[in-house]
Amino acid sequence: MPYPEGLQKYIKKVEETRPERVERRRRGEEFPALSPEGREEMLQYHPDYKEEGRRELKVGTNKGYKIPHEFADLLEAKSRIDPDVVNLSAIDYETDVLVIGGGGAGTAAALLAQEQGAKVILATKLRHGDANTMMAEGGIQAASKGWKDSPYYHYLDVLGGGHFQNSPELVYTLVTQAPGVLRWLEGLGVAFSKDKNGKLESMHGGGTCRKRMHYCSDITGSEIMRTIRDEVRNRSQDIEVIEFSPAVELVLNEHGHCAGAVLYNMETEEYFIVKARAVVLATGGCGRLHVQGFPTTNHYGATADGIVLGYRVGVGVCFLHTVQYHPTCAIFPEQIEGLLLTEKFRGAGADVLNVDGEKFVFEREPRDVESGAFIKECLAKGKGVPTPTGKLGIWVDSPMIDLLSGEGTVRREFMGKWKVFNRQGIDISKEPMLVYPGLHYQNGGLVYNANCETSVPGLFIAGEVSGGVHGANRLMGNSLLDVHLFGRIAGRSASLYAQESYQEGKLTLEHVKAYHKELDDAGITTDRVAPMLLPDYTEPAVRERQLTASYLGTLR
Amino acid sequence: MAGAEKRKGGNPGVATLEKETPPRVKVKLIPIFVMGKRYMVPEGLTIMKAMEYAGYKFIRGCGCRGGVCGACGTVYRKPGDYKIYTGLACQTVIEPDMYLTQMPFYPANRASFNLENLTSAPEEINKLYPELFRCVACNACTKVCPMNIEVMDTVSYLKQGNIAKAVELSFDCIQCGLCASRCFAEMPQYHIFQLARRIYGAKISPRSKHLIEADETIESGKYEEPLRKLMSADEKELRKLYQERETEPLETGDDWQPKKTEYLSIS
Ligand SMILES: Cc1cc2nc3c(=O)[nH]c(=O)nc-3n(C[C@H](O)[C@H](O)[C@H](O)COP(=O)(O)OP(=O)(O)OC[C@H]3O[C@@H](n4cnc5c(N)ncnc54)[C@H](O)[C@@H]3O)c2cc1C
Ligand code: SF4
Ligand code: SF4
Ligand code: FES
């Protein structure tokens, strides 16, 4: 279905203002970026700043910390298993390093742990590679062009994006190891977009002062994910992958060290015990919690499981009060609602426009500011574009890209998106796209250090499940970097720990009992269980007819 | 959902937005047949959302929900039409009376290799996957590919030893396995393409020199002092430095240089 009649008149307005906007771009004239005060003002419209959206945690390491209800609901919930009925002496798998999560962070960790000589089990919820990493399109940052960029500027950008609240150690690690990570990926066969001399293509992302975003066409995450997954398959002698088996609880030993996990085979509904000398938790993000009802760009399994697992063994959380909304998610047609339209569109020259076809904000503000500006334009100023499905949107004027960089650029550089829209009867090299902010990234997470250690010996974390490196807001392209970089470190650290520091001891789930008791003591009586594992999209009417079904959380 | 009770008075910021659930009011229902069984579902939904509406809860057959992971390959037919259609359940909009099945998995053998020991010679691929040469050019693979990849042409480029061209054609492959399910030659095309891409990325396309230089400059310790200074700077100082950064203009060539070069490798 192409754009319906009702939208045509708004598209006309975009077309009317386009020639002049293109001219301004050609002259290098930019819409002025916001001042610090201007940014602050926009942020007031950001969902994070809404008090009703959050509440104080009543239990655990961060008791009293105010976070979105959706997180608090999970942290103030019971385990899926009764610790008393689990037989921890019947061990089903034993390994040096257990990696939980088969996205970029987990996969990188598995590879590095194996390289250090460890036997590895990688347990994951869906298929290996069904992960947010697979979905990343735009790119991966690294200050690789020494004649104009360096870790110094990368560092400043990361901090500015993160509201200067990031952990300096973690950012230092991020920016100084970035080129090394790209080299590693290149060596594994990741086909970065380059010129014929091998010079990497690079472009801007929101909040970057240098063009530092490297990419593989518009499927950067897929290209990386499928490559490193393929490499894991080459090493199947040492790395066993267990799919459709999410971890539902970490197992400690009598010394209080992490020593394994309980896995749940979602297909056969059996629980299995894995004993490991070290554990890497890399379960990714939280989009499917639909914080404040927002649609999400995330994969089906992004339900913040790792936060629950880590918190229950006593690891603290940080920056969970901020959640990243990506400003440009498709809002129309409905079939593709929530579909991420990478920042690269704006980086390549597409304007963002209101209902009058006018610019109202600089295109490359940090994401939280940009999202706030969109929400303000739609709701406070009444300048959103009304969609046929009763929503409001903002235009991204993609046809400008062809006008600026030559016909065919949109199709070449944004092939994936072009195809998706084309299936809906829309040619985005000729017609603009309608967007609105959507839930995209978990800025915060579990607390860790630059060796990926947590407060629990034997437990290492990496990737979107962690918090601190991006402060209160992550910049595009720094997450793909983060997950592979810290994934590598976590794998190495875990393997080292397994060889040198591991202490044999009796396995226990006492921490789960203690957590349940704490819930009771805090007066929380609930039938909620966590981790959630999968979101609930079952129609209420269907549930009503499932007369004999019993649900544990979202699962039957 | 795990106890996420519906909260009242949602954010005005999202008052106009629905959670990802199918619409419930006044929609036209149309029939689709899931593995032969008829369900009435709201028109306009994707196959994936329609199946959820009908009461299916996915464990298999659903990954990214965004058309990039290959978990949800679906085969369907339409009444009175001899053709086999395929699509991704998360991307394909339902049609009345379509009858479908998902193909979340199709067995395909993968050859193990050590990338370091491989050369960029086309024979390497032939050695690992001799079945390449069993291709009878039936084109069933191309017809079935939900990503519109010219699968057969990719196979023939590989047979001719043109790895670069094969990489270009297969770049959007999401490894859904549908091509392998239809292949007369019984080959796992997508594993072969993956091998080709890795050889290309690591051995054929030129390595990035500036990347190596950047890595080595960092190793040399050149940025150590300025970075340590930033790490201990207070917020006020950081904000100032941040505001003062010189931003590379959008419309400039790659050889653009900032005025300040103190913290660059060329200084
Ligand atoms: C649409 C989209 C586009 C993006 N674009 C970019 C971009 O251009 N640049 C950028 O830098 N970043 C981007 N990001 C962000 C980035 O992709 C992610 O933050 C990053 O890939 C997360 O990697 P991860 O390994 O931590 O998590 P994931 O890749 O999500 O992997 C987590 C894995 O853990 C598994 N898992 C979850 N729970 C359990 C459990 N209980 N037990 C076992 N396994 C479990 C999941 O199934 C999954 O396999 C994008 C994200 C999305 C969603
Ligand atoms: S080439 Fe094969 S595996 Fe790849 S997307 Fe097409 S049908 Fe799926
Ligand atoms: S389906 Fe198999 S035999 Fe037929 S063209 Fe494709 S690769 Fe060749
Ligand atoms: S669910 Fe990933 S391609 Fe459809």
Instruction: Set out the domains of chain B in order of their start, with CATH numbers.
Output: 29-102 (3.10.20.30), 115-204 (1.10.1060.10)
- Cβ-in-10-Å burial (0-12, 13-18, 19+) of A114 comes to buried
Hey, are the CB atoms on B174 and A234 less than 8 Å from each other? no
Q: In this predicted model, which residue has the larger pLDDT, B51 or B3?
A: B51
In this structure, are A433 and A449 located in the same domain?
no
In this structure, are A407 and A475 located in the same domain?
no
Ligand 2 site-directed mutation target among B90, B103, B142, B145, most atoms within 8 Å of CB: B145
- Closest to A508 measured CA to CA, from A78, A60, A83: A83
Residue-number span of the structural domain to which A159 is assigned: 93-322+442-507
In this structure, are A369 and A297 located in the same domain?
no
Residues B19-45 as b or e (16 or more Cβ within 10 Å = b):
ebbbeeeeeeebebbbeeeebebbebb
A130 at interface of B, judged by CB pairs closer than 8 A: yes
- Cβ-in-10-Å burial (0-12, 13-18, 19+) of A521 comes to exposed
In this structure, are A227 and A310 located in the same domain?
yes
Whether A535 is in a domain gets the answer no
Locate tokens 């992971």: which residue?
B69
A27 given a catalytic annotation: no
**CB-based contact A447:A315 (threshold 8 Å):** yes
The nearest alpha carbon in chain B to A22 belongs to B251
pLDDT at B10 over 60: no
| Residue-wise pLDDT tens digits, B81-108 | 999 999 999 989 899 999 999 999 999 9
Residue % of chain A over a pLDDT of 70: 100
**CB-based contact A245:A123 (threshold 8 Å):** yes
Question: What is the per-residue pLDDT for B267?
Answer: 67
Question: What is the per-residue pLDDT for B26?
Answer: 54
A209 vs A224: CA distance, rounded Å: 25
Question: What is the per-residue pLDDT for A342?
Answer: 85
Whether A369 is in a domain gets the answer yes
B69 vs A299: CA distance, rounded Å: 9
In this structure, are A407 and A454 located in the same domain?
no
Hey, are the CB atoms on A144 and B17 less than 8 Å from each other? no
- Closest to B174 measured CA to CA, from B199, B197, B200: B197
Full DSSP string of B33-49: EETTEEEEEETT-BHHH
The residues facing A97 across adjacent strands are A120, A278
**CB-based contact A357:A395 (threshold 8 Å):** yes
- Cβ-in-10-Å burial (0-12, 13-18, 19+) of A230 comes to buried
Mean pLDDT of chain B: 90
Whether A518 is in a domain gets the answer no
Question: What is the per-residue pLDDT for B93?
Answer: 87
**Helix A220-234 crosses helix A104-115 at what angle (to 10 degrees)?**
30
* Residue finishing a domain among A398, A423, A440: A440
Question: What is the per-residue pLDDT for A138?
Answer: 85
CA of A116 to the centre of ligand 3 (A): 41
In this structure, are A420 and A454 located in the same domain?
no
Q: Which two tokens stand for residue B42?
A: 């709201």
Using an 8 Å CB-CB cutoff, list chain A residues near B26: none
- Closest to A486 measured CA to CA, from A171, A221, A205: A171
Question: What is the per-residue pLDDT for B252?
Answer: 82
Q: Read off the amino acid at residue B169.
A: L
CA of B191 to the centre of ligand 2 (A): 10
Q: Tell me the whole-structure pTM to 2 decimals.
A: 0.92
A397 vs A527: CA distance, rounded Å: 48
Query: Where do the DSSP E strands lie in B61-211?
Result: 73-77, 85-88, 99-102
Nearest CA to CA, how far is B188 from chain A (Å)? 14
A24 vs A230: CA distance, rounded Å: 46
pLDDT at B3 over 70: no
B229 vs A545: CA distance, rounded Å: 64
Helix (H/G/I), strand (E/B), else coil: B116: helix
Locate tokens 């735009």: which residue?
A138
Full DSSP string of A83-130: TTT--TTS-SEEEEEEEE--SHHHHHHHHHHHHTT--EEEE-SSSTT-
In this structure, are A279 and A341 located in the same domain?
no
Using left for φ > 0, alpha for ψ between -120 and 50, and beta otherwise, residue A69 falls in alpha
Q: Within the 363-392 window of chain A, which residues sit less than 8 Å (CB to CB) from chain B?
A: 375, 379, 390-392
In this structure, are A284 and A309 located in the same domain?
yes
A375 vs B63: CA distance, rounded Å: 29
Alpha helices in B177-234 (DSSP H): 178-182, 189-199, 209-219, 224-232
* Residue finishing a domain among A440, A460, A476: A440
**CB-based contact A273:A251 (threshold 8 Å):** yes
CATH number of the domain enclosing A193: 3.50.50.60
Alpha helices in B23-99 (DSSP H): 47-54
A447 vs A230: CA distance, rounded Å: 30
Residues B148-171 as b or e (16 or more Cβ within 10 Å = b):
ebbbbbbbbbbeeebbebbbebbb
Pick the residue whose CA is nearest to atom 1 on ligand 2. Answer: B173
Q: Which residues contact B52 (CB under 8 A, 6 or more apart)?
A: A537, A538, A539, B22, B58
CA of B73 to the centre of ligand 4 (A): 8
In this structure, are A118 and A257 located in the same domain?
yes
Using an 8 Å CB-CB cutoff, list chain A residues near B172: 219, 415-416, 419
A125 vs B23: CA distance, rounded Å: 28
Nearest CA to CA, how far is B263 from chain A (Å)? 7
Locate tokens 């959630």: which residue?
A532
- Cβ-in-10-Å burial (0-12, 13-18, 19+) of A90 comes to exposed
Q: How confident is the model at residue B16 (pLDDT cuts 50, 70, 90)?
A: very low
Whether A53 is in a domain gets the answer no
**CB-based contact A409:A348 (threshold 8 Å):** yes
Nearest CA to CA, how far is A146 from chain B (Å)? 5
The response to whether residue B90 sits with its C-beta less than 6 Å from ligand 4 reads yes
| Residue-wise pLDDT tens digits, A107-137 | 999 999 999 999 999 999 999 999 999 999 8
Whether A522 is in a domain gets the answer no
Mutant choice from A67, A69, A230, A536 vs B, greatest count of B C-beta within 10 A = A230
Residues in chain A: 556
CATH number of the domain enclosing A429: 3.90.700.10
Mean pLDDT to the nearest integer, B209-217: 97
Ligand nearest to the CA of B72: 4
Question: What is the per-residue pLDDT for A366?
Answer: 82
Q: Which two tokens stand for residue A505?
A: 């001891």
Q: Within the 463-492 window of chain A, which residues sit less than 8 Å (CB to CB) from chain B?
A: none
Nearest CA to CA, how far is A389 from chain B (Å)? 10
- Closest to A139 measured CA to CA, from A223, A75, A80: A223
| Residue-wise pLDDT tens digits, A487-531 | 999 999 999 999 999 999 999 999 999 999 999 999 999 999 999
**Protein residues with CB under 6 Å of any ligand 1 atom:** A 100-106, 123-126, 130-133, 135-140, 220-221, 246-247, 282-285, 297-298, 301-302, 305, 340, 342, 441, 463-465, 476-480, 483, 531
**Protein residues with CB under 6 Å of any ligand 2 atom:** B 144-145, 147, 149, 151, 173-179, 189-190
Whether A542 is in a domain gets the answer no
Ranges of chain A with pLDDT below 50: none
Report how far apart, in Å, the C-alpha atoms of A225 and of each of A364, A467, B37 are.
27, 22, 36
Nearest CA to CA, how far is A96 from chain B (Å)? 23
Alpha helices in A116-259 (DSSP H): 132-135, 151-161, 168-188, 220-234
Q: Within the 405-444 window of chain A, which residues sit less than 8 Å (CB to CB) from chain B?
A: 415-416, 419-420, 423, 436
Question: What is the per-residue pLDDT for A1?
Answer: 59
Question: What is the per-residue pLDDT for A337?
Answer: 82
A326 given a catalytic annotation: yes
**Helix A220-234 crosses helix A168-188 at what angle (to 10 degrees)?**
70
Mutant choice from A23, A29, A222 vs B, greatest count of B C-beta within 10 A = A222
A307 vs A313: CA distance, rounded Å: 10
Whether A547 is in a domain gets the answer no
In this structure, are A183 and A259 located in the same domain?
yes
Ligand nearest to the CA of B65: 4
In this structure, are A248 and A305 located in the same domain?
yes
The nearest alpha carbon in chain B to A414 belongs to B172
**CB-based contact B88:B74 (threshold 8 Å):** yes
Q: Read off the amino acid at residue A248.
A: V
- Closest to B108 measured CA to CA, from B194, B195, B191: B191
The residues facing A271 across adjacent strands are A264
The count of domains in chain A is 2
Question: What is the per-residue pLDDT for A415?
Answer: 81
Question: What is the per-residue pLDDT for B75?
Answer: 98
In this structure, are A290 and A364 located in the same domain?
no
The complex's ipTM works out to 0.92
Whether A420 is in a domain gets the answer yes
A334 DSSP assignment: G
Question: What is the per-residue pLDDT for B22?
Answer: 41
| Residue-wise pLDDT tens digits, B195-211 | 999 999 999 999 999 99
A466 vs A479: CA distance, rounded Å: 11
- Closest to B202 measured CA to CA, from A228, A235, A215, A190: A190
Cβ-based contacts under 8 A for chains A and B: 325
Of all helices (H) and strands (E), which one includes residue A280? strand A270-281
